[in-house]
Chain A
Amino acid sequence: MSLIYVIPINFSQNSLLNPLRERISITFHEETRVVFLPIDPAFAYDRGRNQYNSSLLLAQLVEMKPKDTHRILGVTDLDLFIPILTFVFGEAQLGGPAAVVSIYRLKNQFYGLPRDNTLLLKRLEKEAIHELGHTFGLVHCRNDLCVMKTSTYVENIDLKPVRLCQACLRTYSEKLVTRPA
């Protein structure tokens, strides 16, 4: 049996892990486990940008993934970037095994607003499902009521629901049948 693994990397909000695991499991109908792997993200740190290269973290996750991994998702407090963009909420390998999500810019405090852990969990769940959706081959969706709708602002994340629309669900099922990991 293959599993979806959730790997905390410099992640301080441990209380969010269990509800996140449940949400992933419900959405993709796959057993999901939280596992702590000894990953030191220092190698992905960019001094000039004071951010962490998410592509390097993805490569590390792939290298360290357990044998029975179907998909692996890193969750982190760190501010992530890819070289061409100023920041990313997360990154995924389209149709590949790994994804990573950061809560750095999902926290209300980042925008000068009071802490709100309930909202933070919702945002984390949406971004986690969104990035994992990419690993299952889903691309951005035009439907405003789909978690695969692209989000470049945190407000965009708040506007969309945590679920996949019918069209994306169909695509997800087809891809799972025709192209298992």
Chain B
Amino acid sequence: MENEDVGILVVDDELVVRDSLYNWFREDGYEVDTAEDAKEALKKLQRRPWDIVLLDIKMPGMDGMELQKRIKEIDPNIIVIMITAYASVDTAVQALKEGAFDYITKPFDPDDMGHLIRNAVAQRRLTTENIQLRQKIDELSRFDEIIGESPSMNRVFELIDTVAQSDATVVIHGESGTGKELVARAIHSNSPRRYFPIIPVNCGALPEGILESEIFGHEKGAFTGAQYRRKGKLEMADGGTLFLDEIGNISMKTLMDLLRVLETKKFTRLGGSQEITVDFRVICATNQNLEKMVEENTFREDLYYRINVFSIFLPPLRERRSDVPLLAKHFVQKYALAMNKQVNEISPDAMDLLVRYDWRGNVRELENAIERAMVVGKPPRIVAEDLPFQLSAKRSIPSADSLEEIEKAHIRNILERTAWNISRAAEILKIERVTLYNRIKKYGLRR
């Protein structure tokens, strides 16, 4: 905000004061106007927005105190500075209580006046910035990032809407790659906490000790290498949302500590003694069956009931195939822009493959497939040959008639898709690992 962008309105019944301030501010390059009473001031305030109003407390007719209230009704963010004589300091203090930015006593020191106006301009700039940022956040607070029109996704959108306004803990269930973090962000950015941060913690990615330090923070010297005090994710999430991804992977000890924090909203940093109070909402995500884990004593039952207030189940992509074309087009647009490539279509046979494919890696796998196709594909469209799984997809419909041939092709297909991860392939095929090994041997399958 340059000085010429700042509008100052001087309201004082004394001509000499109006003139002096008018000249003083004009020399500083501000846009200035004056009003001799409340009536004229209100007229000028209606005509255009002003950033700062300098207001004499004692004026005939409507006084400065009353005028301040009227000004705040017109624009609650306007900066009001009261001008007062020594005799009316009490009134000035009252004006401060009613929202005036500051007051200045006549006659004032040139330096005090300069400081006061600079501070007022800085305050006004911050307020304006804050309003603009909030507007931007509000604009982003939609579900733009989550793509889907299928009934199951519409149900998810409804649930996000419902739970966002509350402060309830949410558990998002879904296979890897279904977009659990996007849902968590959508809940946060549509909640009253949206002006504060959402802090994600990937519980599955960190070893126990480090995870504890990540979540709770630590004091200097708490452990070898802790050279500085460090705030944990809990403190960073104060006022906002803590997103615990892969909650099923947290150790029992950390779970116990976490349970205590969720219940009391109080904790101490590692190696610290000072209790810290925080205010945050918790959203968890998991691709595991927590209920089953509770039964198997690998997840704490009390924590499970503490967090399982509201659940959202994200359907795997293969269960909402009607969304695949929409998602695929979205990713094509995204990467066309990022790669500056004139590819903006998907051929019908490629789209057919995309829709029929099983997408064990869900939306993430689809996005990767499109990204790869965008790299290898030629403008103006992606064709079936650009897709990474076209061969295996073709193999998935073998021309052979015998059951053995079909089984062999299917097992090879799954093994290729899982990069020969035997456990994963066995899981998909719903057979024991040893059975899979036997089949590989029987059919002479090799990498």
Contacts and interface: CB of A to CB of B under 8 A. Distances in A.
Interface of A: 49, 55, 81-88, 91-94, 134, 139-140, 150, 152-153
Given A94-B26, A94-B27, A152 B106 contact: no
B28 interface: yes
A83 B20 contact: yes
B16 A85 contact: no
A15 B19 CA distance: 35
Of B19, B23, B24, B106, most A-chain CB atoms within 10 Å: B23
B111 interface: yes
Contact of B27 (A86, A140, A152): A140
A87 B108 CA distance: 9
A140 B109 contact: no
Contact of B24 (A84, A87, A153): A84
Nearest to B18: A84
Contacts of B19: 55
B29 A55 contact: no
Interface residues of B, number: 22
B17 A86 contact: no
A87 B109 CA distance: 7
23 contacts: A81-B107, A83-B20, A84-B17, A84-B20, A84-B21, A84-B24, A84-B107, A84-B113, A85-B24, A86-B108, A87-B110, A88-B110, A91-B23, A93-B23, A94-B26, A94-B27, A139-B3, A139-B26, A139-B27, A140-B27, A150-B28, A152-B110, A152-B114
Chain A residues touching B, majority SS: loop
B113 to A, nearest CB: 7
A85 B108 contact: yes
B28 A86 contact: no
B196 to A, nearest CB: 35
Interface string B26-64: 111100000000000000000000000000000000000
Given A83-B20, A85-B20, A85-B24, 15 more contacts: A49-B107, A83-B106, A84-B17, A84-B24, A84-B83, A84-B106, A85-B108, A85-B109, A86-B107, A86-B110, A88-B110, A93-B23, A139-B3, A139-B26, A140-B29
Given A55-B20, A150-B114, A85 B29 contact: no
Nearest to A94: B26
Contacts of B3: 139-140
Contacts of A85: 20, 24, 107-110, 113
Contact of A152 (B17, B20, B23, B111): B111
A82 B114 contact: no
A110 to B, nearest CB: 15
Contact of B28 (A81, A83, A140): A140
Interface of B: 3, 14, 16-17, 19-21, 23-24, 26-29, 83, 106-111, 113-114
B383 to A, nearest CB: 60
Contacts of B27: 92, 94, 134, 139-140, 150
Contact of B108 (A49, A84, A94, A134): A84
A140 B29 CA distance: 6
Given A87-B110, A152-B110, A152-B114, A82 B28 contact: no
A139 B114 contact: no
B20 A82 contact: yes
B110 to A, nearest CB: 4
A55 B24 CA distance: 12
Contacts of A83: 14, 16-17, 20, 106-107
Nearest first, the 6 closest Cβ-Cβ pairs linking A and B are A152-B111, A139-B29, A152-B110, A82-B20, A84-B20, A83-B16
Contacts of B24: 82, 84-85
Nearest to B21: A84
Contacts of A139: 3, 26-29
A92 B27 CA distance: 9
Contacts of A91: 23
B107 to A, nearest CB: 5
Nearest to B26: A94
Given A94-B23, A150-B114, A86 B29 contact: no
Nearest to A81: B107
Nearest to B109: A86
Contacts of A86: 107-110
A153 B16 contact: no
Residue in B20, B26, B109 whose Cβ sees the most chain A Cβ within 10 Å: B20
Contacts of B14: 83
A153 B14 CA distance: 27
Nearest to B106: A84
A49 B106 CA distance: 12
A14 to B, nearest CB: 29
